Structure 1
């Protein structure tokens, strides 16, 4: 546990300024930008604008924190003593980075969804528990997506390091091409009948949850849920864990080679 806490403190010391910068950027987008756009005309600062800026804040924060995560890995890759002399496993080292960045992102999401959702009055109507439930869904979905991006970064960065040994500066181009090709292939496979036969089991209809959400007033703001399949979710989770371990071991092998 001491090793784990020590690694967390190290991440905090090295990357707390990144986190503070992300929060300051979010506050600037949410509060300073509306006044700059309106040039002092407060009537232009509508709920729609405020909600739109909240979404922009969440997207920019997500990208900023992903860059911080990649920067953390990239920095340690160039310090072989961390890998050679550390008594912690590579899985633990990268796991701590994911935990630190994930918790930072969770706090970021909770803060800025609160600042955005609880200050608009004309977009939706509902009780506090309904708004809180909607906020929880937004934060949960965003955090889940961010974890997937973390694992994706680990795997493709290991691929980039491997290719760099053989083709140098062209590695980043080939890695980017492979990223889009692989993701395109996955998207295509997910829309095939074979995918449905393999993974569409344990159907759960999420549409009843709509009754627990606030009702949108603005016509442009709609809420809808679909269907999830337990088999698909379990396989996706297992695959994510496997890819994380493979990516971590792969990174270690490339760095120490």
Structure 2
């Protein structure tokens, strides 16, 4: 545990100030820019609606935060063989600490617009939607974005390692080869998702969120009724397993690059 804490502390010390500045900048932008936009352009909409749009854009962009953060941490130390070769920690701890820290960055990146949106909703008493509706559907959106960001990070790490393994042989063309491999793999995966096998084995255990929430949402005194919203237990389990396996394979291949 001490070794793990030490690895996390090292990443925090290195990235502390850029992260704090980015967080502060994000809070300022999402808190004050909507008011400036509404006043300067004389928009005939409630300022909360502008806040909502900006916060959702920020949250959507945060899907790339973990993978970008992981790339930054890996690129920073890939040129220092001693970090990997002489460390007593396993490759899973070394890379896992970076991935965990990158995930925390992504989580905080999603938490900031969520808190700003909640505060703005309370301060400006928006009638656009009730707080319960906003919280329920906003939570689903945030959880989905975070889950997708973790999947992106795992896939990104895998193909980053592939690129690094090919670079000594292909030099600058390794990135082209990696992109081609990625496109081919994406095509094969899309075919698998559309297959009957995927439907029979993966799309099982449907969960309809609308059964635990009134599908009618009051938006500016207009009722919008959502249709069935299904999540599949089998698909969730498959995505978790797929993400984990991709990360393990990438870590093993990466160890061959930096330690063997």
If the length of structure 2 is used for normalisation, what is the TM-score?
A: 0.84
Secondary structure at the counterpart of residue 4 of structure 1? helix
For 1:147, the equivalent position in structure 2 comes to 150
Aligned counterpart in structure 2 of residue 138 of structure 1, from 137, 141, 145? 141
Alignment of 1:167-246 (within 5 A): 167-211=170-214, 215-217=218-220, 226-246=229-249
Deviation at 1:194, TM superposition (A): 2.5
Aligned counterpart in structure 1 of residue 129 of structure 2, from 124, 127, 131? 124
For 2:24, the equivalent position in structure 1 comes to 24
Distance 2:178 2:223 in 1: 38
Q: Is the 8 A contact 2:65 2:105 kept in 1?
A: no
Distance 1:22 1:224 in 2: 38
Deviations 1:77-134 (A, max 9, x none): 211111111111111111111211212322231221121245241331244xx54433
Matched, 1:158 2:144: no
Deviation at 1:225, TM superposition (A): 5.3
Deviation at 1:228, TM superposition (A): 2.7
- Segment drifting more, 231-240 vs 37-46: 37-46
Deviations 1:148-188 (A, max 9, x none): 11211210111000121111111112212322332232123
What is the number of equivalent residue pairs in this alignment?
255
Q: Is the 8 A contact 1:126 1:213 kept in 2?
A: no
CA spacing shift, 1:194–1:61, aligned 2, 3 Å:
closer
Q: Is the 8 A contact 2:158 2:246 kept in 1?
A: yes
Q: Which runs of 5+ in 1 are unaligned?
A: none
Secondary structure at the counterpart of residue 213 of structure 2? helix
Q: Is the 8 A contact 2:31 2:116 kept in 1?
A: no
